[in-house]
Structure 1
Amino acid sequence: MAELTAIILAAGEGTRMKSALPKVLHPVGGLPMVGHAVRAALGAGAAGLAVVIGPGHDAVSAAVSLMAPDARFSTQSERLGTAHAVRQAEAAYAHSEGAVLVLYADTPLVSRATLQAVAARLDAGADIVVVGFRPADATGYGRLLTDGGRLLAIREHKDATEAERAITLCNSGIMGFRCATLRSVIDRIGNANAKGEYYLTDAVELANGDGRHIEVFEASADEVIGVDDRRKLAQAEAQFQELRRDDFMAQGVTLRDPQSVFFSWDTTIGRDVVIEPNVVFGPGVSVADGAVIRAFSHIEGATIGEGCEIGPFARLRPEAVLAEGVKVGNFVEVKKANIGKGAKLNHLSYVGDAEIGAKANLGAGTITCNYDGVNKDITVIGEGAFIGSNSSLVAPVTIGAGAYVGSGSVITRNVEPDALALGRARQENRLGYASKLRERAAAKKAARKARSEG
């Protein structure tokens, strides 16, 4: 296959998003939309990546660079249309004899398979390949004017006749070119249209006039959804989630209520995992085979080992790493902690900046006090240690293997292996004192009432 380059158009301001954030940085599945375009292009085999951004959009180039450090950037200072945008990336195709894909940063669901199909047709002899689709409502979309298998032209909706508007095959905006063909037409594209812009779609008529071979590749309407406002963003998110749910169920994951489970772009889940309703996976989550994620849990940046049981109502934050068979129960929060094999954190606990040994047991209400207002320190709990309910472990502190911590303790010093640590005030029972407290409280209430009535 000839060398493939991708040009991603990402210069739009997205004013209809009503946001201080550039449109293409709004996330779908936890990844900025431009990131989806980058992944699709690279996945399709693009060896070079050029991104056209708007003025002051340094955040866009920074986001792209995280995924594609070798990407090249150019700025479209004036919004004069798609052909004008492509001209800003001329260095990407000026000297190449390969092919170039032009795609959009606000079309986050296009698949690598579609881009590979476009590239394959170019490699097989097509000069231009246009990705078309058939929406339920074609209003506003450019129409693909065909004659048999030949694409004659692309007509923008505002410039189309009534007969042309009746055509259901529409332009997604995604196009593939042989670089030589693109060079031959790009500078001849004019702006004699209703908006006075330079449309890349005019390349089709120009190439036809040159006797070039132009094809249409028809994609699913759901795949080429473009996002220009919050409503479309929600539609793209919904479609993304549907695809992810279907993929996971096909791979052997049980979703008790699929519509209530939300995944991120990089979520990985093993076989025979069971996920109950109302679970949210943020970015960076890996779940091994046989784990159970119970209802109303929120998981982000965490690694969950084989056979773990999480929730209900659990929260796993970034750098939570759970070994095989760990149990994290209801209203437990884990952050930046390594939890050893078979350890149990069953309820009402916070574990942060910690190392928990295998088969350790943390009773209800156990807290690792990891932050002093300035610094964060580590709590280490050894294998088989037992932490009694409602205990506070003030870091930095180490609880030795097999040690016991009495319920209600505040532990500020290291505990030796197999030791019993009691860090609470000595109990004192004052006989008859409860009635005195009640009398004192009643007198105080009566005095307050008398003052208010006076």
Structure 2
Amino acid sequence: MERGNSIGLTKVDDARESGVVELSGNKVVRIHEKMEEPLSNLINAGLYHFDRSIFDFIKKTDRSPRGEYEITDSINMFTREYNMEGVLLKEWRDVVYPWHLLDVNEELLRKMKGDIKGRVEENVVLKGEVTIGEGSRVMSGSYIEGPVVIGRDCKIGPNCYIRPYTSIGDNCHIGNACEVKNSIVMSNSNIPHQNYVGDSIIGSNCNLGAGTKIANLRFDKKNIKVSLNGQRLDTG
């Protein structure tokens, strides 16, 4: 958003659990949090462009009833004195839980064009759009089926299978007889030998022991559930 103080907006089917943005023309009047009867389906997308004046209002912001400093409270004070524009975004994804990152990752990789800057040895198959960063090495016998992105200074293989919609960060090792599918592997992590990682997110600086299997499939065919902030959540 190349403009002055502004907020990214998006339209949703049900705005009751979101911050509904009240506008006058394209000027933001107020953000209303979690209205039982929303004024509209236009909500705060959580994307902001501020100049330094916003910090004056942040300093004046008190803790909310849940004990947090809310940027929306600062914005509501700001809009009483200054103009703030609402900008309707062309694309937006609501990332609430870690597994939502996989949806965003897939959407971004669908638009990616391959770019090979690393070293690819003989007897490697690259199929579809594959990006390999500088200093990375893909060893013999590896099969990479795009869209896939591999960062810088990675060691891939030998004899591994990387399946579509996988993003691998910098300085990672995907080793012998490993398979990675529809996953995000963050920088400085190792999946070194005889591992399977599917539909998963591996954080930075992780190391999987030999033979580790990580997937979202239960033997009883039920949905995977995780614990978060004292609640059991169904990941779908």
TM-score, with normalisation over the residues of structure 2? Answer: 0.49
Structure showing greater Rg: 1
The structure richer in strand per residue is 2
* Greater relative contact order structure (CA < 8 Å, 6+ sep): 2
- In the superposition, the TM-score normalised over structure 1's length comes to 0.28
